[in-house]
Amino acid sequence: MSMTMQQGIDLSLVDAILERRKDERGAVIPILQDTQEAYGYLPREVLARIADYMGVPFSQVYGVATFYSQFYLTRRGRNVIKVCDGTACHVRGASRNIETLEKDLGIGPGGTTEDYQFTFEVVYCLGACALGPVTVVNNDIKGKCTSERMHRIIEELRR
């Protein structure tokens, strides 16, 4: 087995990132950002490689990765859907969008479909209250998003 392969994870991706950032002391956050972009999430084996490379305890790198909400420790779907359920969106029907997604995707908030096509999250303010209910699909804001529109979006993404 190659030195860059460990339990099915190709560590050559993180090795290239570490090499590229070798002169940046204490660059754990940019390294984690680049690594997550490469893998789509932060596998445990990759965090261990970063800790070893930086000469710090695994717990230190893991602590940073779990502190910031931008980092994910589990594989996410190709399509990430975030439904706002903050006050303005909630009173305008966000719960119907949540129900539509649960039914159409067969997963609850925080879940990822088995085929890794969708990850579904509920957030509590996207800062676009006047557009409520708001849903973000792959970083694209969908304002005044009805459950019917949500259903059509899922159908389009499945194609």
State the pLDDT at residue 3: 43
Residue 23 lies in a domain: yes
CB burial of 115-143 (b: ≥16 within 10 Å; e: otherwise) equals eeebbbebbeebebeebbbbbbbeeeebe
* Residue 150 pLDDT: 95
**Total number of domains in the chain:** 2
Better-predicted residue by pLDDT, 121 or 6 = 121
Q: Is the domain of 97 the same as that of 56? A: no
The DSSP call for residue 62 is H
Confidence label for 7 from pLDDT (cuts 50, 70 and 90): low
Which pLDDT tens digit goes with each residue over 79-132? 999 999 999 999 999 999 999 999 999 999 999 999 999 999 999 999 999 999
Mark whether 103 and 52 lie in a shared domain: no
pLDDT bin (cut points 50, 70, 90) of residue 24 is confident
In which domain, by residue range, is 103 found?
Answer: 79-158
| Alpha helices per DSSP H over 21-117 | 28-39, 44-54, 58-67, 87-91, 94-105
Q: Is residue 73 part of a domain?
A: no
pTM: 0.78
Confidence check: pLDDT of 55 > 70: yes
- Do both 98 and 129 map to the same domain? yes
In percent, how much of the chain has pLDDT > 70?
96
* Count of residues making up the chain: 159
Instruction: Specify if 74 maps to a domain.
Output: no
